Amino acid sequence: MKFDDLLERTAGLRWNEPLERLAGARLQRLADPHGSLAGLRQAAGARADVAAEVAAAFTVGETWFHRFGEQLDAAALALRALGRPARVWSAGCSTGEEVYALLGACLRAGVDARALGTDLNPDAVAVAAGGVYTQRALRDAPPDRVARVFAPDGPQVRVKPDVRARARFGVHNLLRPAPEAGFDVISCRNVLIYFTPGAAQQACEHLIGALAPGGLLLLAPSDPRPPVTETLEQVRVGGTVLLRRAPHPLPARVPAPPPVLPASRPVTPPEPSAEPDLAQARQRAFVSPHDPQAQLDLARAFLRAGQPARAAASLRAAEAQLGGRGESWETAHLRAQSAQVQRAVRDAGGDA
């Protein structure tokens, strides 16, 4: 019994076999009152509350406190310049570790911040609001970071009251307009990767619209990215490249602004308006070696630096990452870039 259309309509999620296997036991439990999976499907088609439960059963809530912590540190550093309390939103926060990590990064940077954490899955939101975690949630985290945010609670840890007081939580579906606006940072990491291209586009539009001018959008390296446009630019903070909503329209270096995230139709993307320099591109490819976008950016940076052989090596690394991927908006976007880089490497005398 496939729930594919229901999943996409309700939560923007892309169905696949492993996801359905993962949801199997949860779906069976939901099906009990309806007699069968077919009965559950019928009920979900008729009732939004049942559809929401089915969608929540398909979510992947894997998260941990120190997940790509350097990106949160970079965002917190950028917030220092605000000169007023910062508003941050973890959109798709799962069980909340990311919310507390963002707040911890802000506290370490001396930034007074308030955080909103939202997720589609109400069970995950309840855990987030409880603020109690096992040691597993803290894996790889440096002890001083843990100590700023958590206090021991038997074999577990509990978020300290001064940190907990800065966080609010709620259930929110990213297909709907943002619950609030004017955020200085929105982190939506490892969420859009599960979305269909059309749903990722819709969610991105909501997220960008909820950013304050100059606000930062944090995505994970493997997430689909909205193209850099007049409203969204790449900036380098510390060693990390972040996406920022332009404080005011940028001078038009991009001739014809593309639509924000083209739907499912593959398109040839424009050249990004702010290419990272070689040092930035190297740093990003070092931090995210499996991110094809980072490898393509590095290939272009090598080309600009007159190093076609190195550009060819980065291109091969990007293509190796793209090889096993199914078709999606993001893959089409990356393949189009890869073809452009390949032509440029050949023109420069490299072995593409």
Ligand X SMILES: C[S@@+](CC[C@H](N)C(=O)[O-])C[C@H]1O[C@@H](n2cnc3c(N)ncnc32)[C@H](O)[C@@H]1O
Name the minimum Å distance from CB 335 to ligand X: 25
Cα 318 to the center of its chain, rounded Å: 20
Maximum distance among all Cα pairs of the chain, rounded to whole angstroms: 67
Indicate whether 7 belongs to the interface with ligand X (CB under 6 A): no
Q: Distance between CA atoms of 245 and 185, rounded to whole angstroms?
A: 10
Name the minimum Å distance from CB 58 to ligand X: 8
Residue whose CB is less far from ligand X, 119 or 319: 119
Residue partners of 53: CB distance under 8 A and separation at least 6 = 30, 44
Residue whose CB is less far from ligand X, 56 or 312: 56
Q: Distance between CA atoms of 137 and 246, rounded to whole angstroms?
A: 35
Query: Phi then psi for 351, rounded to 5 degrees?
Result: -100, 80
Residue 233 pairs with which residues in a beta bridge? 244
Per rule CB under 6 A, count of chain residues that contact ligand X:
24
Q: Distance between CA atoms of 85 and 76, rounded to whole angstroms?
A: 12
Candidates 103, 106, 107, 124: give the one binding ligand X (CB under 6 A). 124
Candidates 98, 184, 223, 319: give the one binding ligand X (CB under 6 A). 98
Residue whose CB is less far from ligand X, 198 or 266: 198
Residue whose CB is less far from ligand X, 184 or 319: 184
Name the minimum Å distance from CB 127 to ligand X: 10
Stretch that binds ligand X, among 117-125, 228-236, 263-271, 279-287 (CB under 6 A): 117-125
Give the helix/strand (H/E) hosting 184.
strand 183-187
Taking the CB of residue 179, how many other CB atoms lie within 10 A of it?
Answer: 15
Residue whose CB is less far from ligand X, 89 or 302: 89
Stretch that binds ligand X, among 6-14, 74-82, 208-216, 309-317 (CB under 6 A): 6-14
Structure tokens at 94: 């799962």
Indicate whether 94 belongs to the interface with ligand X (CB under 6 A): yes
Site for ligand X in 43-62 (CB under 6 A): 59-62
Name the minimum Å distance from CB 300 to ligand X: 28
The owner of tokens 């019994």 is 1
Stretch that binds ligand X, among 36-44, 118-126, 131-139, 315-323 (CB under 6 A): 118-126
Local structure of 236: helix, strand or coil = strand
Residue whose CB is less far from ligand X, 222 or 331: 222
Taking the CB of residue 163, how many other CB atoms lie within 10 A of it?
Answer: 20
Site for ligand X in 167-206 (CB under 6 A): 173-175, 189-191, 194
Taking the CB of residue 110, how many other CB atoms lie within 10 A of it?
Answer: 10
Residue in 12, 8, 6, 14 with CA at minimum distance from that of residue 27: 6
Indicate whether 92 belongs to the interface with ligand X (CB under 6 A): yes
CA atoms within 13 A on the CB side of 69: 18
Residue whose CB is less far from ligand X, 74 or 191: 191
Structure tokens at 133: 């975690």
Stretch that binds ligand X, among 5-13, 80-88, 137-145, 335-343 (CB under 6 A): 5-13
Residue partners of 67: CB distance under 8 A and separation at least 6 = 97, 98, 101, 189, 190
Local structure of 141: helix, strand or coil = coil
Indicate whether 318 belongs to the interface with ligand X (CB under 6 A): no
Candidates 14, 19, 66, 121: give the one binding ligand X (CB under 6 A). 121
Indicate whether 307 belongs to the interface with ligand X (CB under 6 A): no
For the packed helices 17-31 and 37-46, what is the interaxial angle rounded to 10 degrees?
A: 90
Name the minimum Å distance from CB 97 to ligand X: 7
Enumerate binding residues for ligand X (CB under 6 A): 11-13, 59-63, 67, 92-94, 98, 119-121, 124, 173-175, 189-191, 194
